[in-house]
A and B are shown apart, each in its own frame.
Chain A
Amino acid sequence: MEGRLGRILLILVPYLWLLVFFLVPFVIVFKISFSETAIAMPPYLPVFDLSEGWEAFKAAFARLSFDNYAWLTEDDLYIRSYLSSLWIASVSTIITLMVGYPIAYGMARAPTAWRPTLLMLVILPFWTSFLIRVYAWIGILKKEGLLNLALISLGVIDEPLTILNTNTAVYIGIVYSYLPFMVLPLYSALEKLDGSLLEAAQDLGCTPIKAFWVVTVPLSLPGIVAGCFLVFIPAVGEFVIPDLLGGSETLMIGKTLWVEFFSNRDWPVSSAVAVLLLLVLIVPIVLFQMHQQRQQEREAG
């Protein structure tokens, strides 16, 4: 009996965790997204007050409306923000893949003794604050920053490049920040790859480059998919990077949400933006889950 109780507790704890720290806040946000702004504290109406009884609750409930969602479709700022976020996240994901693949490949082909060190180097940036690392990029990318200084002193350019506060800087920031999430799953897929398969491909007449495309890439596909999702999903809602590195042209939903929330103090609209963002992201998240599950089944079977 005790064993069973223990098992139930074991299962219950993570669910409780999710309930308290994810579901409850989400329900609150969800509710706010149906409210209207008010100059009050909190800055929206209605406020459910259970102490005033059932009738008051029903009255408050009746005041909830879809107005905020309707508003999101009326002003095209929001649609453009969503689309632009998806675009920026997609482009960044592709660049991260192109940068991460050679790194992961090199790590997987490195002598076994080096691999833990290389793995460590990939994880090392996590030891400093994300915010500080993004700030550091300001120092690198600004007009009189390290990059421009280096390029000018090398004679590559005469005039400093404007990178900071453009979308280019946002791409650089996202690729840099999320690179480990790409490299790690790729590395674990590539490390499993049996070198004799490449030899067999060459033996049968494949050039090494062709063997890479017909053997290495398909066999590392699980890593590619996992890495892309792990970069894409958080990149869509990214706020810090576009805020610090991007400029006025940079339109990302995280930034729009922040402006609604803190500058306009419009909690209901920003809540609606957040709820929609979640809906937008549910598609890739579900796809990712399905992929992971299939992968596990394949490995088990």
Chain B
Amino acid sequence: MADRQPASASRKTFAPWSDPSAEPFIVFDNVTKRFGDFVAVNNVSLNVYEREFFSLLGPSGCGKTTLLRMLAGFETPTEGRILLDGQDISTIPPYRRPVNMMFQSYALFPHMSVADNIAFGLKQDKMPKPEIEERVADMLRLVKLEQFAGRKPHQLSGGQRQRVALARSLAKRPKVLLLDEPLGALDKKLREETQFELMDIQENLGLTFMIVTHDQEEAMTVSDRIAVMDHGVFVQVATPAEMYEYPNSRYVADFIGDINIIKGTIKSTANGAVTLETEDAGTLVVHQAMDAIPGTPAYIAIRPEKMQVISGVSQNQIDGEVWDIAYLGDLSIYHVKLPSGAIVKASQTNVTRLIERPITWEDDISLTFAPDAAVVLLD
């Protein structure tokens, strides 16, 4: 990992989705997929741009695999169109699409060795033999399976099989690579390394990746943008930072990272500030431009790390009792019980060694947050 190049400057300014003149590379145009009566993907529209690393995040059964399979050509949309590079691909069979997919079930050929599995796609392209060998060796090195080249899939562990599947889908360097939970079976360390390798490959070869993951941290790490799905629809499509700081719904707020959600009603909205009356924590103020009739039910969403343990502030003070402490080494997460019985979480960096705990169980403490640290959600 030491010889990794710093992420290029182009990455920092890569945001074609906010450029109205940019041509999208993949377009889902009002795509619906039904299996009988069951709607797996419900009227989804999405633009993905060339060289983008796009993640699909969502609970099991929300339609992530179905979406990828439509792009790969294994399912036809019931309604709507899918465009690739400006061309409607509905009539193009899977074997002629410049799209490769890594299957959630790996789908490795059991009668072929690891090396033959990886070489399979290259052989279909009639690539010269020496080049195939070179590419296969590259791929084996990438997934750290050099000494397993001659093994059959059934002689590998689950994580090793997953890496073969990854190498096989990457070998052809397709314009679009679809990865269905590519790293789920790997241990944390290998997974993090592979995430960075994936980002490097994607960046260096200029590929477009669509990746499915259950792991929101992984999505945050690798993606240019993330789509959070639920029941066949996109709840929010945004960059990781936007998604984290400005979730558009309680569903997304809850799905991405840890968050406190405090229920209340809107008291007033004025000058870019929203004042809410909450049962759990009294009156709270959040800086956010919003138009809402006073009395509308709303929620304040605030991340634990944006809570501070402090007292004697004039605004957004929440008093409670330390109910539980989770010591994570670098952080401690305090579960604070409010008089109403609700629990809010506040995480604090452990800047000193924690032999003498400054805060301990059953302490009465006060929490606060800056008005621009929280968001108000209406649903």
Contact in complex: B95, A206 (CB < 8 Å) = yes
Of A197, A202, A203, the residue contacting B109 (CB under 8 A) is A197
A196 to B168, CA, bound (A): 15
* Complex contacts, A203 vs chain B, CB 8 Å: 72-74, 94-95, 99-101, 169
Interface residues of A in 181-206 (CB under 8 A from B): 194, 196-197, 199-206
* Complex contacts, A140 vs chain B, CB 8 Å: none
A218 to B125, CA, bound (A): 21
Q: Does A207 contact B (CB under 8 A)?
A: yes
Contact in complex: A202, B95 (CB < 8 Å) = yes
* Complex contacts, B93 vs chain A, CB 8 Å: 202
* Complex contacts, B124 vs chain A, CB 8 Å: 204-206, 210
Contact in complex: A194, B100 (CB < 8 Å) = no
Q: Does A215 contact B (CB under 8 A)?
A: yes
Indicate with 1 or 0, residue by residue over B246-274, a CB within 8 angstroms of chain A CB atoms. Answer: 00000000000000000000000000000
Please name the residue on chain A nearest to B96 by beta carbon: A205
Contact in complex: A199, B94 (CB < 8 Å) = yes
Q: Does A134 contact B (CB under 8 A)?
A: no
Closest beta carbon of chain A to B217's beta carbon, Å = 28
Please name the residue on chain B nearest to A199 by beta carbon: B74
A210 to B93, CA, bound (A): 14
Closest beta carbon of chain A to B44's beta carbon, Å = 22
Contact in complex: B120, A201 (CB < 8 Å) = yes
A199 with B111, Cβ < 8 A, contacts A204-B168, A205-B172, A206-B124 known = no
Please name the residue on chain B nearest to A219 by beta carbon: B111
Contact in complex: B103, A199 (CB < 8 Å) = yes
Q: Does B110 contact A (CB under 8 A)?
A: yes
Between B73, B95, B103, B168, the greatest number of chain A beta carbons within 10 A of the residue's beta carbon is seen for: B95
A-contacting residues of B (Cβ < 8 Å)? 72-74, 93-96, 99-101, 103, 105, 107-111, 120-121, 124-125, 154, 168-169, 172
A196 to B94, CA, bound (A): 13
Please name the residue on chain A nearest to B154 by beta carbon: A301
Closest beta carbon of chain B to A186's beta carbon, Å = 16
* Complex contacts, A197 vs chain B, CB 8 Å: 107, 109-110
A201 to B73, CA, bound (A): 13
A218 to B73, CA, bound (A): 25
Please name the residue on chain A nearest to B178 by beta carbon: A203
Closest beta carbon of chain A to B162's beta carbon, Å = 14
* Complex contacts, B105 vs chain A, CB 8 Å: 194, 196
* Complex contacts, B103 vs chain A, CB 8 Å: 196, 199-200
Closest beta carbon of chain B to A45's beta carbon, Å = 58
Closest beta carbon of chain A to B104's beta carbon, Å = 9
A210 to B107, CA, bound (A): 17
A205 with B121, Cβ < 8 A, contacts A196-B103, A199-B94, A200-B103 known = yes
A202 to B107, CA, bound (A): 12
Contact in complex: B95, A207 (CB < 8 Å) = yes
Contact in complex: B100, A199 (CB < 8 Å) = no
Closest beta carbon of chain B to A223's beta carbon, Å = 13
A215 to B117, CA, bound (A): 11
Please name the residue on chain A nearest to B93 by beta carbon: A202
Closest beta carbon of chain B to A56's beta carbon, Å = 63
Of A205, A215, A218, the residue contacting B95 (CB under 8 A) is A205
* Complex contacts, B168 vs chain A, CB 8 Å: 200, 204
A199 to B168, CA, bound (A): 14
Contact in complex: B111, A218 (CB < 8 Å) = yes
A194 with B172, Cβ < 8 A, contacts A199-B94, A205-B124 known = no
* Complex contacts, A199 vs chain B, CB 8 Å: 74, 94, 103, 107
* Complex contacts, B154 vs chain A, CB 8 Å: 301
Closest beta carbon of chain A to B6's beta carbon, Å = 34
Closest beta carbon of chain A to B157's beta carbon, Å = 15
Indicate with 1 or 0, residue by residue over A141-155, a CB within 8 angstroms of chain B CB atoms. Answer: 000000000000000
A200 to B171, CA, bound (A): 13
Please name the residue on chain A nearest to B72 by beta carbon: A203
Please name the residue on chain A nearest to B94 by beta carbon: A202
A197 to B108, CA, bound (A): 7
* Complex contacts, A205 vs chain B, CB 8 Å: 95-96, 121, 124-125, 172
* Complex contacts, A207 vs chain B, CB 8 Å: 95
Contact in complex: A204, B107 (CB < 8 Å) = no
User: A200-B107, A203-B73 given. 18 additional CB < 8 A pairs?
Assistant: A197-B109, A197-B110, A199-B107, A200-B101, A200-B168, A201-B120, A202-B94, A203-B72, A203-B99, A203-B169, A204-B121, A204-B124, A204-B168, A205-B96, A205-B121, A205-B125, A206-B95, A218-B111
